[in-house]
Structure formats: C-alpha cells, structure tokens
Amino acid sequence: MPLTIPKEEYVNQGHTACAGCGAALAMRYVLKGMGPKTAVAIPASCWAIIPGEYPYTALKVPLLYTTFASTGAAISGLREGLNAQGKEDYNVLAFAGDGGTADIGLQALSAAMERGHDVLFVMYDNEAYMNTGIQRSSSTPYGAWTTTTPVGLKRNFKKEKKKYVSDLMIAQNVPYVATASIGYPEDLERKVAIAKSIKGPKFIQILSPCPPGWYYNTADTIKVSRLAVESKVFPLYEFKSGKFTLFKPSKTTSIADYLSLQGRFKHLNDEEIKSIEEAVEERWKLLLKKEQN
Amino acid sequence: MALLPLMYVSSETKVMSSWRTTKPVIDYSKCTRCEICWKFCPDMAINLVTDPKLKTPNDRFNALEAPSIDYDHCKGCGICQAECPFGAIEMVREEI
Amino acid sequence: MKSVQSSRRIMTGNEAVATGVKLSRVKVIAAYPITPQTTIAEKIAEMVANGELDSKFIEVESEHSAMSMITASEITGVRSYTASSSHGILYMHEALHWAAGMRLPLVMSVVNRALGPPWNIWGEQTDTFNQRDTGWLQMYCESNQEALDSIMLGYKIGENKKVLLPVMNMLDAFTLSHTSEPVEVRDLKTAADYLGDLDLDFKIDFKNPIGYGSLISPDGPYMEMKKDMRDSMYNAVGIIKNEISNFNDQFDAELPGLTENFMMEDADYALITAGAISSTAKYTVRKLRKRGQKVGLIRLYFYRPFPGEEILKAVKGLKGLGVVERNLSYGQRGPTFEDVVSSLYGRVDVPVRNYVVGLGGRDIRVTDYELMFENLIEGNNDMEWVNVGVK
C-alpha cells in the first residue's frame, strides 16, 4: 500500500514517552509535515522530558526549552531572530501542552498571534497536567477525575466545562485555526501542510489521549481518539480566511461508548452522562450554526 | 571557555525493551502490508523492510515493504495489534 | 586615539541608553512599557521607524515575554536587547535565570524604581538588588555618559567567551532617566569595529539540532554547569578591567574600574555608594575636605561580580566605612553591607556601618551625607535610617 502520511521521521526512537502516548504521536505527525527546516520551542510539559536527558535528544530538529508561561514569546523571538538573518524560509513551531496553552501560556500565545509572527503554535491537548501527575487544567472536560478533582464521597470530579483554546483563537481572528486528532493522521497532515503554506500565525489543537491520565489500556489510544471525534465530544474543524468548516464524521458513536472506555469517567451516573450528552449536542449545534454563518 | 551542553546524542541509541511486558508478533501470512501499524506506532518501532522471504497471504504483496518490529525500541503498548485490520499481530507475554 | 570623531549632545539618560543600543547595532529589541523606562522604548521605536537603526522592535505584552523573546532571538545568533524597571524586573525574574542559564550575553537596561505597594514610581534600587543571584552582571551608572557607554561595554564583556553571561546596566529613575546632560555620542564606525558581530557557539544550529535547556539529572553536568557560571562571573573581573581600559582607549572615555575611588588616598572615613546618588556624595566629600576632614567615597560601578578585592585595597587604613544602600532587605542588613563585610572579614580591621537611604525616591541631600560622615566618626554600629521620620 502507498503510505498515506510522509515517511520521513523527525522524532527519534528511544524517547521516554509512556507506552501508547498520544502526545508522542502528535509530535511525530506534526514534524513529518513541518520537515527538517523547523525550530521547535517546548515549555514545561510532558514533551520537556520525552526527548530524554542530556546529551540524548529525540528530535532531529533544534529544540528550545522555554519557561512554562513563555512559549508564545519564545517562538516570536525565534522567528524574529531567524528573520534578522534572512532565514524566513525556516519554520518556527511551538509544541505546548494544554496547561502551557490554555492556562499559564495563554497570555503569551494570544499576544504572539496578535502580533502576527509567522509561527505555528500546536497545543497537544491531553486534557490535564499529565507531566506533574494528572492535575486538572482548564482544558480538562466536565466529569473527569484528576488528582486535584479526586471525586471522593462528595463527588468532587471536575464540575466546569472544558475551555476550547481553538475557539478563542477563532475569536481572535487568527489566519488559520484547526482542531485535529491523532486518530486521523491524514487529516492532521493535511492541516499541518495548510498551516505551513500560510505566512502568519497559525494554531492547531490536537487531542492527544493519555493512557495513564485517562485510565485506559495503552492499546486503545487510537480507538479513544476516534471515538472522541465520532461521538462529537471533540469536533474537528478548520477556520481559514474567516471561513469555518466543521467535519461531520460518517460514522457516529454514542458518548457513553467514549466515556466508558476511560477510567477517569467511571464514577459518572446516568444523569451526569446525560448532561454531558446535552452539552456536546448543544456545542455541536453552535458549531453548525457557525459554519452556516 | 564556558561549559555548554553542545553534544547531540540521538535517543535511538537507547534500548527501551525493558519497558515492555508484552510484545507484538507479526503473522506475515496474514499481513497485507497496509502499513497501518507503522502509521500508528508512537515509538517509531516499526520499520518498513523489503524481504521476499517473508510469508504473505498472497504473492502480489511480495513486492511491498513489510512491517518489522524493532524490539529494542518497542514499548509494547499494543496499538499496532489493536489497529491491525487483519488480525495479523498478536501480543505475546514477555518472559522475565 | 584623540582622532576619534565624536559629537557632544544634550540628552536624557534614557536617550543615552537608546543611543548606546543603536551604536551596538542590536538586531532584536522587545520591550514592555513601564515608567520610567518608557522613553527608552519610545526612542528605540523612533530610531527604527526613521531607518536610523536596522532592527526589529517589538512591543510585547509583558516583561516576562520581553525577556523570553530576546532569549529566543539571541539564541538564533543575533544581538538582542530589552529595558525595564521595578515591577517589570520582578515579573521577568524567572526569565532572567533562564537567559543566564542559557549563557546568553544579552544586555538589559534597568531604570531603578521603587516597588509597590504602595505604588511609587521614583528612584530606589531594590528592584535590581533582588536580581542579585540570577547570574547577570550588574553595572550601576552615575551619569548619562556612563549609561550610553555601558551598553557597548556590557555587550563586549558579556560576549567574551570566558564570560558568556547577560549584563544589566542600571540608571536611577528620573535623576538620570529623565534628566538631560551633555553626552559624548561615540562614533558609529568605531563602535562597530569595537564590538564586531555576535559570535555564539551555543545557538540554534539546524546541522547539530541539540536541545537547548535539556533535562539534566543529579549525576549529569548540572552542578558543573552552575559552577562554571559562577567561575565565569569571577573570571569576568579581569576581563572587565581589561575591557574598560580598552574602551577608554578606543573612545577617549573616562569609565572607572569596577569601582571608582574618590579622594580615597589619605582618607580616614569613607562611604560606599552606587548609582547617581554618588554625585551628591562626591559633592559632600569635597565640601568636608575643604573643612579639613579626611573623607572619601568608593562608588560601585559593578555590583556583580562583586568588587571585593578593589574595596579591600581601598579601605586599608580607614577608621570607619559606611555602606549606603538605596535598597532594602527585611530581617537582615542590606545586601551591599553583607557583601562588603564578607569581603573584608579577617583581612582588614575596619568598622563597617550600614545606612539605608532614599527609598521610594526620598531625597538624599548633602546634609544627609554630612550626617552619615558624622555618625561614622562617632562610631556606634546600629543600622541607620537616613532622612526618615523627619517632619
């Protein structure tokens, strides 16, 4: 069979991501699309330790580690520094987790997008602070167990809804915004290729399931990724030149199927699952409306 | 001169097999060389090789590159087994 | 080299700083506005807009981002710069460690300003004394001329491969930043020859794509790298001396050494100061000398690396030494006092006293210095607050 995604690898074997890591796949796919002329900035996150301990490194491209809050500023600096040397043809990529994007890194991200540097910011969304041991982030969905929303007798699971940074980026009118999933690598590669072709700021949010953080079997990473899209829990969309396009999965699954695969949702009762279903449906309708406008 | 960490050593020189509790084994007589296992491996531990001696379900697959597990870097997550549409991969318990 | 072409102009400290940036041919400048630094950023933006300076000027959304951004641009291999003050410096504290740990010879100007609460925009040096342990060299300027020269000198010293550390140069809020003085604008061509281009070994290299700031475990070279930073800071002492003398030759300038000794030769009593408050101190020393009092002044031009040996040499034979600090540490004496005492400990027997002055822009008058000298001669050893609680 002809390969459906580029063959070249820019992530080395022997990285220290957990078995079945969704974030490892996200980086693998993004760099396939970006190619060797790319400088990457990574803040505190799982990906700050996945490349391994010095002198080992798991990337075939230069990697600048940054402080937690400053990814957006770091890619701005890399871009302007390279441009000052006439290296406009090199790509600058940010690869940050959901904490480093939705929480502590949001200000620097928003500012970098507003200033319009020619950069791609990728948020690999594993829906919690996984590197520090599964603490709640603003990107953690309603209903999830985390170590800081530990359910208990008082049922203190996460009560707040997920914050969608991709929606915020659309509100900011970033030239290219997309959501993607590691369960659909061809679609992801297409989106990276589009992002690469646009001069200016770009943002892609990639759902990157985490076996230890979501409590599912390591073999199910791709299955969980697909179910998230098929159940409309994580809709795939694109926003380009002001036009919004929503991907409608040909095969749909129930939200209960998606939730039941993951230990982080096992405490939820029927009523709580129903409220998730309603919220997902409501958001889907909103996105459809957005597409029509 | 300042002490600067300028050395580059690829992580591929590290052996990760001790992370594994089960390992994937490919039954080439069922493998259609679709490369889906290669596509979804988070550890780049599936190489594509040309080896006409490998079995195939059908001779027309002989010319195609076949997946080959790199057991030095496979962590045994089982994604390849779960995603293989032809049931050609089996997870086998590692002996201690 | 008396033939060097130069022109003398009247300018504020902030304009002098911006001119220093232009002479250093900085390529990327990121800044966030804060009083009293703003006119540095404005002047640079104007120079870029006029085509006078071939740089990218970016107004960022915070000081943390300003420092993070120039850290990233510098590591691509181009000279980078920012300026800030007060809370801006505190906000970028984490990023200051990051820049120094990456061994990037950035230069940053800091207009020393008090810290809130309560809000106060006037002069005080606590903001940068709080950054003492970040691995940055610190220079405190006394005049607008020094403010200009210190930018070029800062790059020259920081970019020396035996140093490779970032440099902060300080000027006092309003006293220097917004006050005009005659300044010798150094010749652009001479400045370009003097500084050359930035040449980093540790920079983004697509052929050797290392991780810049990779994880290092307790058994890895982490501790060795930190020791190397500290060693480099100490090595900088010799390099600073050479470079200052080189700078003075090149530009016919009059920069002091790591310290400036003022009427110290036969002094019995002396004060130590840093920054623009030194000028009033010098005036007082002259005044008291006329009255026959053997007094002198040691001005710290560099605070990091700490010029302990220079101070030791200067204070031998003194009957009393007063350390004047325009900054505050709670629960212990001032940081300069601690540093001076530890440099002299067991090596010279001079009583040392500590004076806290000028917080939140409080005036430091000639009469205040006179009181400090009087107090020094009397010789009790409590920490003294000067010009405080006086109605």
Chain B residues with beta carbon closer than 8 angstroms to that of A15: 11, 43
C4: pLDDT strictly greater than 90: no
pLDDT value at position A223?
Answer: 98
Structure tokens at A43: 């803040």
Instruction: Encode pLDDT of C31-45 as tens digits.
Output: 999 999 999 999 999
pLDDT of residue A278: 97
- Please state the rounded mean pLDDT for residues C300-305: 98
Across the range A212-223, mean pLDDT stands at 98
Q: Is the pLDDT of residue C6 over 60?
A: no
Task: Give the per-residue pLDDT at C92.
Answer: 98
pLDDT higher than threshold 90 for residue A103 = yes
Which pLDDT band, with edges at 50, 70 and 90, does C3 fall under?
low
- Structure tokens that stand for A196 in this block: 């690469």
Question: Which of A48, A54, A77 shows the shortest C-beta gap to C72?
Answer: A77
Place of tokens 């460690």: C97
The reply to whether C115 and C247 lie within a common domain is yes
Q: Which token pair is A25?
A: 């796949």
Domain closes at, from C251, C271, C293: C251
C243 lies in the same domain as C315: no
C148 in A contact zone (CB under 8 Å):
no
Say if C202 falls within a structural domain.
no
C204 lies in some domain: no
CB pairs under 8 A between B and C: 32
pLDDT at residue C119, rounded to an integer: 98
In DSSP terms, A57 is beta-bridged to B10
Q: Which two tokens stand for residue C97?
A: 């460690």
- Domains: count for chain C: 2
Q: Using an 8 Å Cβ cutoff, are C252 and C295 in contact? A: no
Q: Are C225 and C285 in a shared domain?
A: no
The pLDDT of residue C5 is: 56
Selected for mutation to probe chain B from A1, A7, A13, A182 (highest B CB count within 10 Å) is A13
State the smallest CA–CA distance between residue A1 and chain B in angstroms.
5
How near does any CA of chain B get to the CA of C192, in Å?
A: 24
Distance between CA atoms of A183 and C17, rounded to whole angstroms?
A: 54
Domains, chain A, in order of start with CATH, read 22-292 (3.40.50.970)
| Residue in A49, A56, A111 closest to C65 by CB | A111
B11 and A57 within 8 Å at the Cβ level: the answer is: yes
Report residue C283 as tokens: 């005036």
Mean pLDDT of chain C: 96
Exposed/middle/buried for A277, CB within 10 Å: 0-12, 13-18, 19+? Answer: middle
Q: What is the mean pLDDT of chain A?
A: 97
Whether residue C197 lies inside any domain: the answer is no
Query: Are C168 and C87 members of one domain?
Result: yes
Residue whose structure tokens are 């911006």: C18
- How far is the C-alpha of C116 from the C-alpha of C330, rounded, in Å? 15
Nearest CA in chain A to B14: A14
Find the CATH number of the domain harbouring C47.
Answer: 3.40.50.970
Q: Comparing C-alpha atoms, which of C121, C21, C125 is closest to residue C80?
A: C21
pLDDT of residue C390: 67
Number of H helices, E strands in chain B: 2, 5
A-interface mutation test, from B3, B7, B13, B14, most A Cβ less than 10 A away:
B14
Q: Which of A9, A61, A64 to mutate to test the interface with C (most CBs of C within 10 A)?
A: A64
Mapped onto helix, strand or coil, the DSSP state of residue A100 is: helix
CB pairs under 8 A between A and C: 156
Interface of A with C in 113-132 (CB under 8 A): 114-115
Chain A: closest CA distance from residue C207 (Å): 8
Q: Cα(C359)–Cα(C141) distance, rounded to whole angstroms?
A: 18
What is the reported pLDDT for B5? 85
Please write the tens of the pLDDT for every residue from C112-160. 999 999 999 999 999 999 999 999 999 999 999 999 999 999 999 999 9
Let me know whether C285 and C374 are in one domain: yes
Specify the amino acid at residue A218: T
Q: Do C64 and A57 touch (CB under 8 A)?
A: no
**What is the model's pLDDT at position A11?**
98
Instruction: Compute how many other C-beta atoms are within 10 angstroms of the C-beta atom of residue A1.
Output: 11
Q: What is the CATH number of the domain that holds C307?
A: 3.40.50.920
Which chain B residues are within 8 Å of C208, Cβ to Cβ? Answer: 6, 8
Q: What is the rounded average pLDDT of the residues C248-277?
A: 97
Helix extents (H) in A38-118? 71-83, 98, 106-115
Residue-wise pLDDT tens digits, C48-102 = 999 999 999 999 999 999 999 999 999 999 999 999 999 999 999 999 999 999 9
Which of A84, A90, A108 lies closest to C27 in CB terms? Answer: A84
Residues C17 and C122 in one domain: yes
Tokens of A121: 């910011």
ipTM value, please give it: 0.96
Q: Which of A47, A26, A25, A17 has its CA nearest to residue B75? A: A17
Q: Is residue C390 part of a domain?
A: no
Mutation target to probe the A interface, by most A beta carbons within 10 A, among C48, C54, C200, C204 is C204
Q: Looking at the predicted structure, is the pLDDT value of residue C261 above 60?
A: yes
**Range B16-93 classified under CATH 3.30.590.10:** no
Confidence of residue C391 (pLDDT cuts 50, 70, 90): low
With a cut of 50, which residues of chain B have pLDDT below it?
none
Judge if C239 and C101 occupy the same domain.
Answer: yes
Cα-Cα end-to-end distance for chain A? 40
SS3 per residue for chain C: CCCCCCEEEEEEHHHHHHHHHHHCCCCEEEECCCCCCHHHHHHHHHHHHCCCCCCEEEECCCHHHHHHHHHHHHHCCCCEEEEEEHHHHHHCHHHHHHHHHCCCCCEEEEEECCCCCCCCCCCCCHHHHCCHHHCCEEEECCCHHHHHHHHHHHHHHHCCCCCCCCEEEEEECCCCCCCEEEEEECCHHHHHHHHCCCCCCCCCCCCCCCEECCCCCCCCCHHHHHHHHHHHHHHHHHHHHHHHHHHHHHHCCCCCCCEEEECCCCCCEEEEEECCHHHHHHHHHHHHHHCCCCEEEEEECEEECCCHHHHHHHHCCCCEEEEEECCCCCCCCCHHHHHHHHHHCCCCCCCEEEEECCHHHCCCCHHHHHHHHHHHHHCCCCCEECCCCCC
Q: Domain check: are C351 and C306 in the same one?
A: yes
- d(Cα C86, Cα C125) in Å, to the nearest integer? 8
Decide if pLDDT at C301 tops 70.
yes
By residue range, what is the domain housing residue C178?
A: 7-186+218-251
CB–CB of B12 and A13 under 8 A? Answer: yes
Neighbouring chains of C at 3+ CB pairs under 8 Å are A, B
Q: Is residue C209 part of a domain?
A: no
Q: Is residue C222 part of a domain?
A: yes
Q: How many CB atoms lie within 10 A of CB C265?
A: 8
State whether residue A49 is helix, strand or coil. Answer: coil
First-last CA distance in chain B: 48
pTM of the model: 0.96
Closest-CA residue in chain B for C101?
Answer: B4
Helix A22-34 with A185-197: angle, nearest 10 deg: 40
Confidence of residue A68 (pLDDT cuts 50, 70, 90): very high
Shared domain for C223 and C371, answered yes or no, is no
Cβ–Cβ below 8 Å for A73 and C94: no
Tens digit of each residue's pLDDT (9 = 90 or more) over A242-285: 999 999 999 999 999 999 999 999 999 999 999 999 999 999 99
Which stretches within chain B are classed as H helix? 36-39, 79-83
C224: nearest CA partner in chain B: B3
pLDDT of C2 strictly over 70: no
Q: Answer for the pair A77, C99: CB distance below 8 angstroms, yes or no.
A: no
A116, pLDDT greater than 60: yes
Question: In which band, very low, low, confident or very high, does the pLDDT at A2 lie, cut at 50, 70 and 90?
Answer: confident
Choose among B7, B38, B43: nearest Cβ to A13. Answer: B43
CB contact under 8 A, C72 and A107: no
Q: Residue C268 region, left (φ>0) first, then alpha (ψ -120 to 50), else beta?
A: alpha
List, for residues A135-146, the tens digit of each pLDDT value.
999 999 999 999
How far lies A179's CA from each of A169, A227, C74, C127, in Å?
11, 15, 32, 43
Contact call for B70 and A13, based on CB within 8 A: yes
Q: Are the C-beta atoms of residues C247 and C156 closer than 8 Å to each other?
A: yes
- Determine contact, residues A225/A209, Cβ cutoff 8 Å: yes
Phi, psi of C101 (to 5 degrees): -60, -30
Phi and psi dihedrals of A220, rounded to 5?
Answer: -95, 10
Longest alpha-carbon distance in chain B: 63
